[in-house]
Amino acid sequence: MGAVRNILRWLVPLGLAYGIVLALIQVGVINNYLFATMMTICINIILATSLNLVVGFTGQLALGHAGFMAIGAYTCAIITMRVDGIVGFVLGVLAGAVLAAVVGFLIGLPVLRLRGDYLAIATLGMAEIIRVFINNMGITNGAAGLSGIPRHVDWNWMFFFLALTLVFLWHYIRSAHGRRAIAVREDEIAAEAIGIDTTRVKVQTFTIAAFFAGIGGGLYASYFYVLQPSQFGFLKSIDILVIVVLGGLGSMSGSIIAAIVLAVLSTFLAQFTDLRMIIYSLLLVLIMIFRPGGIMGSREVSLGILGKVFGERKDPAAMVAPPIVKQDDEEVPSDEEVK
């Protein structure tokens, strides 16, 4: 009974979203231009929710998400260009995700010992190293990049991977593993004192985030069919972080809403060619002034209406967000000071 209810909780909204978009495509309301925007939104949602797991839920300021996206994108592109058909595509996306996760794990082990801004800079550097590698490898065709990647992504596939990401991440957060990550964010020393291996938790969430960033990259490669290393620079990582912060650290639905809002905003602003970026940036500043915790803070959209239909109240255990950058506590000197 409870299990069925829980499944309905995510199946109903996802099913509705899928059906509505499908209907709009059939009717012709969504033209090619809108469809491309929608694909960008979906990819950004995958990237932002996975980054939110690290930055928002585990409290680790990582800035290298574009690096993992690039690994996923190039792996998928290279495989789909060699293996024909949908098999190649699925294989490519999954291989890209796995490779991104492996790299994430290997990078995470040393790097996640750092904290705060040091971690940010280290992850940023790692992402740049990945990009430089791609820039200089033969199989990725260097700076010229890859083009003519077979396009396999349609709404069905995009929705499948989007739903996969959201359902898995949502479940993870609402599990003992997710609570452990949140404990690390809240107070590392207290978390250690109750037996949580904080390094392991951080590496775990980082690896998971890299995996889904790899999926996002694969979908990107397959839909936009042209890849260049310059697309995966520092700015791309920042773009994703902006979505996460704007939506609210520690809010999955916030990341989803922010990804949509930002895409709609920049589509709408396309008509003011010269002023576009100025207005866009100004709006970001205004949102952060009036909603410093992000659009959703740390709350999730409660499915109020659906909840009533199924006779369930909002989970009171909804997690609250931390301040954006958490300072280390005063009482215990950091490692550097101790030595």
Partner 1 sequence: MSLLSVNDLTRNFGGLTAVSRANLHVDEGELVGLIGPNGAGKTTLFNVLTGVYPPSSGTIELNVDGTTTSIGGKRPNAICRAGVGRTFQNIRLFKDLTVLDNVRIAMQQNIPYSLLAAFTHAGTFGGKEQQIRDESEQLLAVMGLADKADELSRNLSYGDQRHLEIARALAVRPKLLLLDEPAAGMNPNETRDLTDLISQLRRDFGLTVVLIEHDMSLVMRICERIYVLDHGSIISEGTPEHVRNDPLVIEAYLGEEAPNA
Is residue 195 a contact residue for partner 1 (CB under 8 A)? Answer: yes
Is residue 172 a contact residue for partner 1 (CB under 8 A)? Answer: yes
As measured in angstroms, the least distance from the Cβ of 186 to partner 1 is: 4
Is residue 189 a contact residue for partner 1 (CB under 8 A)? Answer: yes
Alpha-carbon gap, residue 19 to 250, rounded angstroms: 28
Q: Which region, judged by CB under 8 A, interacts with partner 1, from 44-52, 130-138, 183-191, 275-283? A: 183-191
**CB closer to partner 1 out of 129 and 332:** 332
CB-side neighbour CA atoms (13 Å) of 298: 18
29-33 contacts, C-beta under 8 A, 24 or more apart: none
**CB closer to partner 1 out of 274 and 330:** 330
Size of the site for partner 1 (CB under 8 A): 39
Give the 3-state secondary structure of residue 79: helix
Whether 245 and 291 have beta carbons less than 8 Å apart is answered as no
Is residue 186 a contact residue for partner 1 (CB under 8 A)? Answer: yes
Is residue 333 a contact residue for partner 1 (CB under 8 A)? Answer: yes
41 CB burial (10 A radius; 0-12, 13-18, 19+):
buried
Is residue 198 a contact residue for partner 1 (CB under 8 A)? Answer: yes
Over its C-alpha atoms, the chain yields an Rg (Å, rounded) of 20
Is residue 317 a contact residue for partner 1 (CB under 8 A)? Answer: yes
Alpha-carbon gap, residue 161 to 157, rounded angstroms: 6
Q: Which region, judged by CB under 8 A, interacts with partner 1, from 91-99, 102-110, 181-189, 265-273? A: 181-189
CA-closest candidate to residue 210, choices 327, 12, 47: 47
Residues that bind partner 1 (CB under 8 A): 2-3, 6, 168, 171-172, 174-180, 182-183, 186-187, 189-198, 204, 298, 316-317, 319-322, 331-333, 338
